[in-house]
Amino acid sequence: MARIVRVSVAQIPVAIGDVQQNLATHETAIRELAADGVELAVFPECGLSGYLFDTRAETEAASIGADGPEIARLAAVSAELGIVVVVGFVELDEASDRLYNTAATIDGDRVVCYRKTHLPFLGADRFVDVGENQPAVVETRAGVIGMSICYDLRYPEWARSLSLLGAEIMVHPTNWAVPAEPVARILPPARAMENAMYVLVSDRGDAERGVDFVGLSGIYEPNGSIRELCERGDHLITADIDLDLARRSKIVFDPGVFELDLFGSRRPELYRVITEPSAS
């Protein structure tokens, strides 16, 4: 029997440094999507905070706690409406006085955070600390979700790890500026196809401090095909997906003649070099 889940990616505007305005924008979109039967909604990287900060002090001023009132508010909305939401923000861990670029998967009162582990020298990522968490995979009412943020997508090992840990859907909040268009068009379908999982990308289609974001938020099938894709601007795109199509790593074109086993044919003993530190 098919396991159909209605999912959405929200390409919404973000006001840099204005957490309360961004929170309201997120809640409005969540309520609109829930009214349309959406069970999982993904929002942009640092969508509650903004991204193109100039100093650590400015970045910290727009940060929130993972256990703070903003995430608690979204958790209450999630519980009320029965919708899983993935949101991005700059997180302040007061215990360690560290900042992180964080995505939270919120399923009612259950909140699972992932702190970005691959950091480019750009925007808020210049001032946050490296997340040291293991690949984050969480079972939700909308399926098994693996978490990834922006620059993580350039590392195929990350997506493969999420898939091997059981992810049916990789959620990918991002902030891709216009020069990243080749990444936006090439890597999401590749990661979906490589790992036999759905990929949900939420980018921004607005501008921040003179930088235009490319848009291209999308929903990708486990075979790499594009289910939904949008250009620049504000968009809520939605699709009904069948989770039974995820993790089908055995592909039979002609029984006994032409068959592929994406996971079974792996030779991990030959890949040890990828776990060694780079010489550069």
Reported as a single tens digit per residue, the pLDDT across 131-183 is: 988 899 999 999 999 999 999 999 999 999 999 999 999 999 999 999 999 99
Would you say residue 179 lies in a domain? yes
When divided into structural domains, the chain yields a total of 1
Segment 188-239, tens digit of pLDDT: 999 999 999 999 999 999 999 999 999 999 999 999 999 999 999 999 999 9
Determine the pLDDT at residue 96: 92
Determine what percent of the chain is predicted with pLDDT higher than 70: 99
Would you say residue 258 lies in a domain? no
Going by pLDDT thresholds of 50, 70 and 90, the confidence category of residue 276 is confident
Determine the pLDDT at residue 1: 67
Task: Give the domain range for residue 122.
Answer: 4-250
Would you say residue 257 lies in a domain? no
Residue 104: strand pairing partners: 87, 113
Would you say residue 266 lies in a domain? no
Would you say residue 127 lies in a domain? yes
* pLDDT at position 85 over 80: yes
* Predicted model pTM: 0.95
CATH of the domain at 207: 3.60.110.10
Would you say residue 132 lies in a domain? yes
Going by pLDDT thresholds of 50, 70 and 90, the confidence category of residue 279 is low
Would you say residue 29 lies in a domain? yes
Would you say residue 71 lies in a domain? yes
The CA-to-CA distance between both ends of the chain, in Å, stands at 50
